[in-house]
Structure 1
């Protein structure tokens, strides 16, 4: 007996990103990225590590895709490393481009539909040296790069994500300084946010004009529900600011062609907004074939005049309410937040395009048993709860076409290094041995049935 059946043709996937899994940073002509530069400073990464080896997915992708096939996933979202394809940001490296064609072909051979992300944060370092995302020209260079990749892979890859989580790339990388390129500059953060979106719009236009007519283009935005810590007016206002800063600042230009007025008014005293040019918003609002939603947790906030929350003087602090379960990242487990996000999108944005959940997952302390198995019941519970929330949103009328678990593999978790594990597949980094976790076995049952198990069966 099942209680939650998903629509016919629903995509069941898992996701990775190049710098987090590939390793092989010097192989076949790849150039340095901003993450190579950032991670070379051990104080930037929790365990002093880098992505130089990671999961060696660059060489082991056939093995990893065989495991993905064992799980039964029907789609694999992976990113192309810009510095493999254009090491200096401009000049083609054919060996790098050919690698990704082999990956896409390997997916197809296993009955797995590839979804390519063009930018998952690994900007070529030479482009950063010329100003990076704070410089307008980077958006143009990105469109050229995306068109190059699409021209080479578009006959194999129907689904294209232009940019992954521009909010994180802008705020964490250019304001808080905790991600590459490690800047702490409000003006450059705001310029980077705009140019990431502009790059998305320019690339969308180029991909649509390409020679592959079956191309479907979207962007992946990390969304949350901002929950005020109390009913006090200042906390409610803080939650509205956080929503504007984290959600609407990226949703509104993409879906409505305008930045939220309250956010422009908030940022204007802090930085020059001269990076906004006439016509940019029309470009950014190029129609989407789908909206990618990355969701991990709701965010509980309170007003704090001294706090920045890793952003331009937002005067908001995050809080951790008692009585909730938290992941190893310190994020609360509140599955209904996913339903809230999806139903909120449908209410706020008439004409919302179809949605794919392009990332959803959790880090837990995956301790292997004596026999090497990983019984990650907490992750099973997390995935089960969020898929039930997703099903509720579909039942409420939200057009969701697919779900991609984050992540296929344990991997280099950015500033957390290898201290946090999100994978359905465990990776023993010294030996590179792979092991399917209990969550992978559970997910395989869900994918095979296109439905969630009955509640008394669902959490193992």
Structure 2
């Protein structure tokens, strides 16, 4: 029997501006992509041409029978130079919001999905003294334009990403050296003393960035709430399902303390916590335990129940409702995605039945896109994208997700 979800449950897909729009030329990530040396294996270039094709993409989301669309407003387009606001960019994102509403889709807006304006990052990114005020100003101008029509606001996407990667041992040691060289070259090219980006942070500065982004989140939330007090506001974090075999509890708890707990405690004063889950990590007394089984493109064993575990822990610590802002699987084999998604959703339904409040689920992602330092290699989309014509082609997993959602919404 199809599990029952609340009638107002947000069934959606998630995208991010820099990853799909294309030609985000005034952003820090664009600058880093075009710096030598660079961690980025490819340049984003035209991405998926979503900036021009957004209406067609919303038609696809509507045709899937979904009820929500998560996307980011790109600060670098809205304020390409400090104090220079682009009415045309605000018009663009307002059209997307209204396009969502016209198709029965709740607009779930992310105010910072890693990417910031080049001028902001050249001045020190989140470590500059007025960063929180500058971000609050950006949130205010977005809210003043169309904040009355959005359904949920996510201030930051995965501000814990670097902490998560380092504590998981997912980054080879040499990466930190390349990162440092790239950031030094970017600073020299920009004519500044330092250069950072939201998902390119030196390991030694993680604590400072955590403090700075905490301040920025609070300032952004205040700006958003001052415009629409009843708008649900939160942030989203990267979180694996951390489990322990006997003797591994201390190692598991240490990982949680480093990667998640600050943000989950911060979220206790928010309206929800966004959960972004892709894997389970098993801890033993001597280190990570690797179970047997097929693996995803990230190299970890495919475990659909990881979503339920991550959601459960996020709610236990934060005490607030959960919004699954991202969940999916990196794989070139779409049969894995087609089997993985409904199994994970069944597990999520069980958590809801046990009393965990879950506001919605956004699959990552609508279409194969630019996956940051890895370029266009990783595949996580329900649709493939022709890199020459930019035509979208549905994968079998798209129909599987559509069928699941239509069944859940009909109950």
Aligned position for 2:394: 436
Specify every segment of 5 or more residues in structure 1 that has no aligned partner in the other structure, as ranges. 27-31, 256-286, 305-316, 367-375, 454-460
Question: Structure 1's 392 and 344: CA in aligned 2 closer, same or farther, altered over 3 A?
Answer: same
How many residues align structurally? 386
TM superposition shift of 1:89: 4.4
Q: For 1:34, which of 4, 10, 28 is the aligned residue?
A: 28
Residue of structure 2 equivalent to 1:321: 290
Does 1:223 find its partner at 2:239?
Answer: yes
Q: Under a length normalisation based on structure 2, what TM-score does the superposition of the two structures give?
A: 0.87
Determine the structure 2 residue equivalent to 1:269. Answer: none
Determine the C-alpha separation between the residues in 1 that align with 2:59 and 2:147.
23
Q: 2:303 aligns with which of 334, 337, 341?
A: 334
Q: 1:362 to 1:236 in 2, by over 3 A?
A: same
Q: CA deviation at 1:336?
A: 2.0
Deviation at 1:390, TM superposition (A): 0.4
Counterpart selection for 1:207 from 206, 224, 239: 224
**How does the TM-score come out when normalised to structure 1?**
0.78
Deviation above 4 Å: which 4+ runs of structure 1? Answer: 169-173, 301-304
How far 1:43 moved relative to its partner? 5.7
Contact 2:68 / 2:106 at 8 angstroms: preserved in 1? yes
- Is residue 16 from structure 1 mapped to residue 28 from structure 2 by the alignment? no
The Cα shift of 1:130 comes to: 1.2
Q: What is residue 420 of structure 1 aligned with on the other side? A: 378
For 2:129 and 2:77, how far apart are their aligned partners in 1?
22
Matches within 5 A, 1:348-359: 348-349=317-318, 352-359=319-326
Distance in 1, matches of 2:314 and 2:122, equals 37
C-alpha distance in 2, partners of 1:328/1:126? 35
Instruction: Check whether the contact 1:104–1:156 (CA below 8 A) recurs between aligned residues.
Output: yes
Q: Relative to structure 1, is the Cα distance of residues 244 and 41 closer, same or farther in structure 2, using a 3 angstrom cutoff?
A: same
Q: Is the 8 A contact 1:166 1:196 kept in 2?
A: yes
Whole-Å separation in 1 of the counterparts to 2:364 and 2:145: 26
Contact 1:159–1:215 (CA<8 Å) still a contact in 2? yes
Offset of residue 84 of structure 1: 0.4
Report the Cα offset of residue 172 of structure 1. 6.3
**Deviation digits for residues 389-439 of structure 1, max 9, x if unmatched?**
101100110011210000011100111110001111111112101111111
Helix, strand or coil for the counterpart of 1:5?
A: coil
Aligned residue among 193, 200, 217 for 2:210: 193
* Structure 1 counterpart of 2:4: 5
Distance 1:213 1:237 in 2: 41
Greater helix percent: which structure? 2
Q: Distance between the aligned counterparts of 2:99 and 2:355, measured in 1?
A: 35
Structure 2 segments unaligned to the other structure (5+ residues): 167-174, 184-195
Instruction: Compute the displacement of 1:17 (Å).
Output: 0.3
Quick one: distance in 2 between partners of 1:91 and 1:36?
A: 19
Q: What is the aligned partner in structure 2 of residue 184 from structure 1? A: 202
Q: Is the 8 A contact 1:406 1:422 kept in 2?
A: yes
Matched with 1:289 is: 271
> CA distance change for structure 1 residues 169 and 206 in 2, over 3 Å: closer, same or farther?
farther
Hey, what does 1:238 align to over in structure 2? 251
Is contact 1:427–1:433 with CA below 8 Å preserved after alignment? yes
